[in-house]
Structure 1
Amino acid sequence: MTSEYWVDVLEVKQDNLEVYLEEVKKTGYTTVGLEQTAESTKLHNYTFPKKCVLVLGNEKEGIPSRIFPFLDVCLEIPQFGLLRSLNVHVAGAITIWEYVKQNSRTSAIV
C-alpha cells in the first residue's frame, strides 16, 4: 500500500510557485520553507498550524532567494558534526513527521 491514498501532496513547479504561494496564503495557509538562514527557527521549537504549505528547495541550491518574501517562516533541522545538510527527501520526511506528530493529537492519523 502506498501513502498517496492517504496524504495530499501537490508538487508545484518553480515557474508557478510565487503565484501558488500568494493564492494559498489568501485561503489561510501558512507558508513554511525548510532552509538554513540567519532567521530560521529550529524545527523542534516550531508549532505547525493545521493549514500549512511546506516549501522544499533544490538539494544543491536550496530555496531560491526570490521565494523568501512569500514564506511566513523558515525552519531548519538542527545538525551536529561536520555536515550542514541533509538530502531533500530526508529533510522533508523529518519535517512532515514533525507536522504529523503535532497535528495528529486531535485526529486519528497516528
Structure 2
Amino acid sequence: MHHPPSQPQPQPPSPPASRPQTSDPSAAEEVGVGPWAGPWPEGDQWDPELLEHGDRRNVVDAYRYWRHDAIVADLDARRHDFHVAVENWGHDFNIGSVIRTANAMGAAAFHIVGRRRWNRRGAMVTDRYQHEHHHPDAPALAEWARDEGLTLLGVDNLPGSVPLETFDLPRRCVLVFGQEGPGLSDPMRAACAAVLHIEQFGSTRSINAGAAAAVAMHAWVRRHVFDQRV
C-alpha cells in the first residue's frame, strides 16, 4: 500500500525544552533536548522517563519524548513497500550505514544474509526502529521473497548489469547489496531478477557500498513516492 511522505505531527501543549546553553565543551556536544519544560503532555505515546530527564536519542523532532514502541508503531503505519537486504560474510562496517539509510528512507524491513551478527555501530541505533530478518543464504532469501510476492533486485556494477537510472523499479521489491569489495556473491546474483548498477563518470571503479545503497533507495523513493506516473 502506498503511503504519502509525511512526518508524524504530535501536538504537545507546550514546546519541548531546548538544549541548555553552557560554556562547558563536553555539555555542548550533547544532542537532543533536555527535560520537558512545563506541564507534561497527555497521551500514551509519551515516555515519562524522557519527559523527566530529556531525550538524547537519534530521532526526528516529531518523535521527541515518545516511547520506543510508540515510534515503531507509528512507523509501521507509514513504511514503504521496498525491503533492503545485505550479504554479511565479512562483518562489513558498511552494513550499519545501509541500515541507517533504510530507516531514513522508510524501508519496510532489512534483511541480513549470511552471518547473523553484524557491525551495528554505523547504524547509530536506527536498527532498533526497523524490523530485522535473517536468512542463512541467498536461496533462503529468494524463497522468502517469492512467498511475499517481492522481486529481488541486486545492486552492483557487474558485467551484464543494467543502469539503475533507466530501470523501472517495481513497487514491491527487495534491494540487495553485497559487502564492500567482493560485492554480490554468485548465488545472490543468480537469485536476483536483475542486477542494477549506478552510472559513474569519474576514474574510480566503484563507489562505497553504503553510498550506493543510499542512491538506490532514494531512486525507489523518487519513483514511487514523488513520481506522479504512479
Measured against the shorter chain, the TM-score band is 0.7 to 0.9
Q: CA deviation at 1:49?
A: 0.7
Aligned residue runs from structure 1 range 8-47, under 5 A: 8-14=108-114, 15-47=136-168
Amino acid of the residue matched to residue 143 of structure 2?
Answer: E
Q: Whose relative contact order is higher, 1 or 2, with alpha carbons under 8 Å and at least 6 apart?
A: 1
Q: Equivalent residue of 1:82, what SS?
A: coil
Superposition RMSD in Å: 2.1
The residue number in structure 1 matching 2:198 is: 77
Amino acid of the residue matched to residue 19 of structure 1?
Answer: A
Q: Equivalent residue of 2:140, what SS?
A: helix
CA distance in 1, matches of 2:103, 2:208: 21
Q: Pick one of 54, 60, 63 that aligns with 2:181.
A: 60
Cα distance change of structure 1 residues 81 and 105 upon mapping to structure 2, 3 Å threshold: closer
Identity of counterpart residues, as a percentage? 23
Computing the radius of gyration from Cα coordinates, the structure with the larger value is 2
Amino acid of the residue matched to residue 178 of structure 2?
Answer: G
Contact 1:30 1:52 in 2 (8 A): yes
Q: Equivalent residue of 1:31, what SS?
A: strand
Deviations 1:10-58 (A, max 9, x none): 1322233321222212332111001122211101110111101011001
TM-score w.r.t. structure 1 length? Answer: 0.84
Contact 2:150 2:172 in 1 (8 A): yes
Cα distance change of structure 1 residues 67 and 105 upon mapping to structure 2, 3 Å threshold: same
Amino acid of the residue matched to residue 109 of structure 2?
Answer: V
CA distance in 2, matches of 1:75, 1:7: 19
CA distance in 1, matches of 2:199, 2:187: 24
CA distance in 2, matches of 1:81, 1:35: 17
The residue number in structure 2 matching 1:98 is: 219
Contact 1:22 1:70 in 2 (8 A): no
Consecutive unaligned residues of structure 2, counting only runs of 5 or more, are 1-58, 61-101, 115-135
Amino acid of the residue matched to residue 64 of structure 1?
Answer: S
Instruction: Give the paired residue count.
Output: 107
TM-score w.r.t. structure 2 length? Answer: 0.43
